[in-house]
């Protein structure tokens, strides 16, 4: 713009003043035209450079997002490391693009909480369990599912065979979130009658506000009972008769009393079939020769902290080879995650330096 203005103004003036000196004028016009072309070229170069930098910034931010999921190496990173060319997007990567789980949960549970009366707290604590309540954030749900997909991919390739249950499910946010994101058969058991009623209300709202998920809402089972007083098979499977179902538990047990955890672990040791996966906040009191075996301690986002310690267990014969294999997978993944964390730090530095320059 500036080059064009100078060119037009100067040429007009010089034609009036130096009309007689045509040789000088011709030389000046040539020089001015050269200046104009150079100016336009610089503007184009600057524009292209900015566009390129914007694209690079977007790529950097995307790469940062891909390597920041704790416990879950991204499909893009895995493809690059394995030399597999184009990365194939994981099931969870696709689902989180399709479904905004936070938006859905906010809508169906609007104006509700997990708070209960003092009278009900006393009633619950009479069962030797805790009335204290916390919830998994939507980001935490996604973290857990990415983690499970990285370690147990069969949960996502054979989803109709997976039966998930949340012990101490409260408002049933996790069963609803997992059912929507995975298509698993989901259930929850909650001792609090008030929280159970909110769970039922949320399921009704899911079908009402999101008709496309009406069948999902109807498929989720919520049970109002003490988890120690009902067979796990009834909680997880219900009246279904699947062949070789894959059992999966989530237990937000951080505030569960130690005595309750001892009884829960003993009940699980007795009733759960081999191959069951257990994800729990608080460690289960297990022995070296128990069928319930620890794979790893990791961290996920909860309402009370962004890094809540979480234990991953697998049920199998004592000293199982499968458990050893899963532990080995996680050790390798941790090494990869350490590299990703280092890369994330470098990206942070780069983005910070770029923002200061701009």
- pLDDT level of residue 40 (50, 70, 90 thresholds): very low
> Which among 42-56, 176-190, 244-258 has the top mean pLDDT?
176-190
- Whose CA is closest to 202, among 106, 301, 276? 106
User: Does 3.40.50.150 match the CATH number of domain 88-339?
Assistant: yes
* pLDDT tens-digit series, residues 311-324: 999 999 998 999 99
Q: Write out pLDDT tens, residues 90-147.
A: 999 999 999 999 999 999 999 999 998 999 988 888 877 777 777 888 999 999 999 9
Where is average pLDDT lowest: 5-14, 103-112, 131-140, 263-272?
A: 5-14
Mean pLDDT (whole number) for 174-185:
98
The tokens for 146 are 């990415």
Lowest pLDDT segment from 3-7, 108-112, 283-287? 3-7
Give residue 236's Cα distance to chain centre: 24
Angle at 122 between CA 117 and CA 128, to 5 degrees: 135
Q: Looking at residue 209, what is its pLDDT?
A: 98
Domain spans in the chain, listed from the N-terminal domain onward: 2-67, 88-339
Gap between the terminal Cα atoms of the chain: 23
Q: Residue 192, class by beta-carbon neighbours within 10 Å (0-12 exposed, 13-18 middle, 19+ buried)?
A: buried
| Pairing relationship of beta strands 277-280 and 246-251 according to DSSP bridges | parallel
% of residues, the chain, pLDDT over 70: 72
Q: What is the pLDDT of residues 321-352, one digit of tens each?
A: 999 999 999 988 888 877 777 777 777 777 76
Res 79 pLDDT > 70:
no
Whether residue 253 has pLDDT greater than 80: yes
- Average pLDDT, integer, range 286-314: 87
- Residue ranges in 68-135 assigned as alpha helix (H): 75-82, 91-98, 101-108, 118-125
pLDDT average, residue stretch 233-251: 94
pLDDT score recorded for residue 358: 58
Please list the residues that pair with 297 across neighbouring strands: 311
The residue among 179 and 343 whose pLDDT is bigger is 179
Residue that wins the pLDDT comparison between 333 and 165: 165
């Amino acid at each position: 713009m500036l080059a064009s203005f100078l060119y037009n103004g100067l040429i007009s003036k010089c034609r009036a003043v130096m009309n007689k000196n045509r040789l000088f004028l011709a030389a000046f016009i040539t020089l001015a035209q050269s200046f104009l072309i150079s100016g336009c070229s610089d503007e184009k170069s600057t524009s292209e450079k900015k566009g390129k930098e914007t694209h690079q910034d977007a790529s950097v931010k995307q790469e940062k997002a891909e390597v920041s999921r704790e416990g879950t190496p991204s499909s893009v990173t895995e493809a690059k490391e394995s030399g597999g060319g184009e990365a194939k997007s994981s099931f969870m990567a696709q689902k989180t693009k399709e479904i905004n789980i936070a938006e859905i949960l906010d809508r169906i549970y609007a104006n509700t909480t997990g708070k209960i009366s003092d009278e009900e707290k006393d009633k619950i604590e009479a069962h030797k369990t805790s009335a204290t309540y916390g919830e998994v954030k939507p980001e935490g749900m996604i973290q857990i599912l990415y983690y499970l997909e990285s370690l147990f991919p069969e949960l996502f390739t054979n989803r109709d065979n997976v039966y998930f249950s949340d012990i101490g499910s409260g408002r049933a946010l996790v069963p609803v979130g997992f059912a929507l994101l995975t298509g698993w058969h989901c259930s929850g058991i909650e001792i609090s009658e008030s929280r159970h009623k909110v769970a039922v209300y949320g399921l009704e709202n899911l079908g009402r506000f999101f008709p496309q998920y009406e069948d999902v809402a109807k498929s989720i089972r919520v049970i109002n009972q003490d988890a120690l007083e009902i067979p796990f098979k009834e909680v997880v499977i219900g009246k279904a008769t699947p062949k070789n179902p894959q059992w999966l538990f989530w237990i937000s047990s951080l505030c569960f009393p130690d005595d309750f955890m001892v009884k829960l672990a003993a009940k699980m040791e007795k009733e759960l079939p081999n191959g069951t996966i257990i994800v729990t906040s608080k460690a289960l009191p297990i022995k070296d020769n128990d069928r319930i075996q620890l794979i790893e301690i990791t961290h996920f986002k909860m309402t009370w902290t962004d890094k809540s310690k979480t234990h991953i267990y697998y049920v199998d014969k004592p000293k199982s080879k499968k458990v050893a294999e899963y532990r080995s997978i996680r050790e390798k993944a941790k090494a990869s995650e350490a590299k990703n964390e280092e890369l994330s730090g470098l990206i942070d530095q780069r983005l910070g330096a770029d923002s200061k320059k701009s």
